[in-house]
Structure 1
């Protein structure tokens, strides 16, 4: 196993461990932020029913401006919080998918909190 494969394997193990802990302790929907090199994707997932309640991404046609930086993360947090309000979701658990709470992740979370979501 080369270095990159080891790194991806460790990340997937962290993701599984964190997801298991969140599911066992909390009965609130899970807010997941997934970031790639080009785009950001956010979902609110109800694990009890196995349904995605709402979603937002920088890949959408109505999303203008930069697609992957901190400003995009702020805008994405505001958009997702608005959509969650429309669906009646106010309290969630933030799933960072094994990533550090820093940069785009932190700005997204702050914007979602300002938009009305409680973590």
Structure 2
């Protein structure tokens, strides 16, 4: 079966992260669309999602217009707060098919400022 370019990129990046994964760290997978961004912290040993945050959630979406980079910061802060409550500080950053640039970079830097290590 032949994979298209985006699936091949996602598979390549995720497999590199999974190979170096250990029991004390979880994987942070990120996905974005033209308007929204979402992220989840995954335990690959048990194949379960521990935490998730998205810009589609009602408490993040307000009536006012928000810049997409500001939306990324808000989602990252919310995810970091949830992770601190569950005492998760060390993660692997799985950027998927996206370059470490723009909204993805802002998301990662905000997580680092809020106490996450990767």
Instruction: Give the TM-score normalised by structure 2.
Output: 0.88
Structure having the larger proportion of residues in helix:
1
How far has the Cα of 1:38 moved from its partner?
Answer: 2.2
Residues 66 and 72 of structure 1 are in contact (CA less than 8 Å); yes or no, is this contact kept in structure 2? no
How far has the Cα of 1:67 moved from its partner?
Answer: 6.2
Name stretches of at least 5 consecutive residues in structure 2 with no aligned partner. Answer: none
Name stretches of at least 5 consecutive residues in structure 1 with no aligned partner. Answer: 1-7
How far has the Cα of 1:32 moved from its partner?
Answer: 1.1
How far has the Cα of 1:62 moved from its partner?
Answer: 0.4
Residues 39 and 67 of structure 1 are in contact (CA less than 8 Å); yes or no, is this contact kept in structure 2? no
How far has the Cα of 1:51 moved from its partner?
Answer: 1.0
Runs of 4+ in 1 over 6 A off after TM superposition: none
Residues 35 and 68 of structure 2 are in contact (CA less than 8 Å); yes or no, is this contact kept in structure 1? no
Closer/same/farther in 2, CA of residues 38 and 68 from structure 1, 3 Å limit: farther
1:97 alignment partner, SS class: coil
Q: Are 1:15 and 2:10 an aligned pair?
A: yes
Closer/same/farther in 2, CA of residues 62 and 9 from structure 1, 3 Å limit: same
Instruction: Give the TM-score normalised by structure 1.
Output: 0.87
Once the two structures are overlaid, the 10-residue window that deviates more, 76-85 or 19-28, is 19-28
For residues 37-52 of structure 1, the aligned pairs below 5 Å read: 37-52=34-49
